[in-house]
Amino acid sequence: MIVRGAIRWLAMVLAALVVVVSCRPLPPAATLELSASTQVAFPASMTFKILARSDADVVKLRLHYKVLRQNFAEVVSEAWPEFSPSRSIDTQWMWDMRRAGLPPGARVQYWWTAEDAAGKRLETNPTEVAFDDGRYRWQSITVGAVTLLWYLGDRAFADTLMNASQQALQRLERDTGAVPQRQVRIYIYGSAQELQGALLFPQEWTGGVSFGEFDVIAIGVAPSNLGFGLRAVPHELSHWIIGQMTFNNYGAGMPVWLDEGLATYGEGPATAGYDAMVENAARTGILISVKSLSSPFSALPDQALLSYAESRSIVAYLIQTYGRDKMDHLLDVFREGSGFDDALKSVYGFDQVGLDVLWRVSIGAGVPVPR
C-alpha cells in the first residue's frame, strides 16, 4: 500500500510539472518596427528621419522616394542613411537642395525598407510630404484649375490677381485652343526679393517663374505693384498651360519665340511700349530674325525686350491671320516631338525663314536682302 501510494503521489507531481511547463510562454518571435517622419527646412533641405527597433540587430535601412511631377517615366531614387547595426536605431538622411532643388509646394512620396539579422523585412506605406515654404502664413483661394496663395495684401488684392488668371485662361482657349489639363498653384510672394529668397540660385532680375512639371508658379508681386502682377500672372500661367499642351517624351521643345510669344500674348493687349519697339526696329532695320529668336534671348536688356516684343507680334500675326485651329494644330504637332521648321511646314506650309518674310511684310518692314 505504501509503494502504491508513493507511485500515485509521484504520478500526480509529474502531471503537475507537465502542466506548469506547458503553460510557460514561448519566447517572442523577432519583431521589426519602423517609425518615419520628415522635417522641411525650406528652401535648403528636406530631412527624412527613421526610428527602427527589433529583437535582432537592424542591418539594412533604405529610403525610397520619388518627386511627384509630370513625367512619362516613374523615377524612384534611393538613399542609405549612416548607422551601425543595433536593435534600436535612430538615424536620418538629408536631401541637400543645393544639388537638386524643388519649388515651393512640390510633393514628394517616400517609404522605407528595413531588414534585421534574423531575416525579418519590413516596408512602410508610401507617405506624401509637401515641400512647403513655411516662412510665411499663406492664405489661398481656388477658382477652377487655379489655386492662388498669398500672404501680403488683402483679399481684394488676391481676387484681382485671380481675375487676371481667369481672363488669361479664357483668352488662351479662345485664341489657341489651349486648356488646363491639371490643377496649378500660384504662389504670390510679397516682392521680387522675397521670391528670390525662395529660390536657391535665382537671377537678380527674376520676378516670376513657372515650374511646369510641378504645376507650380511663383511670382513676386507687392500690393503696391499690382500692375506688374496683372501681366506676370497671365504670362506665367500661359507658360504652364502651353507646357502641358506640348509635353512629350522625346525631350523636344518649342522655339523660344513661340513659347515666349504665347506667354506675352496671354498677358492681354500689347502694351504701347512693345508696339513702339517693334515699329522702331522695323524702321531702323534692326529687327531680329524669327530663326534667331528660336534660341534663348540675349541677356542684354534692350535686346531681350525687343525679343519679347517681336515674339508677341509674330504669334499675334499667326493667330490673327490663320486662326485658332491652326495654332491648336501647331501645339499638337510640337507635342509629337516635331522639329521647329517641320512643324511650321506641316501646319502653315512655310518654315521659320518663310514666316520671317511674311511677318515682316505684315508690319510694313522691308524684307532683309540676303548677304
Task: Determine whether 369 is exposed, middle or buried from the number of CB atoms within 10 Å of its CB (0-12, 13-18, 19+).
Answer: exposed
CATH architecture of 32-131: Sandwich (2.60)
The pLDDT of residue 13:
37
State pTM to two decimals. 0.85
More confident: 271 or 141: 141
For 177-205, the pLDDT digits (tens) are 999 989 999 999 999 999 999 998 777 77
| CA-closest candidate to residue 96, choices 79, 84, 112, 83 | 79
Q: Which DSSP letter does residue 285 get?
A: T
More confident: 362 or 337: 362
| Residue 197 to residue 43: CA distance in whole angstroms | 8
Provide CB contacts within 8 A for 157, sequence distance 6+: 150, 223, 226
DSSP assignment of 316-327: HHHHHHH-HHHH
The pLDDT of residue 237:
96
| Residue 282 to residue 312: CA distance in whole angstroms | 15
Domain boundaries, the chain: 32-131, 136-247, 250-371
Class of the CATH domain delimited by 136-247 = alpha beta
Q: What is the overall mean pLDDT for the chain?
A: 89
For 41-96, the pLDDT digits (tens) are 999 999 999 999 999 999 999 999 999 998 777 899 999 999 999 999 999 999 99
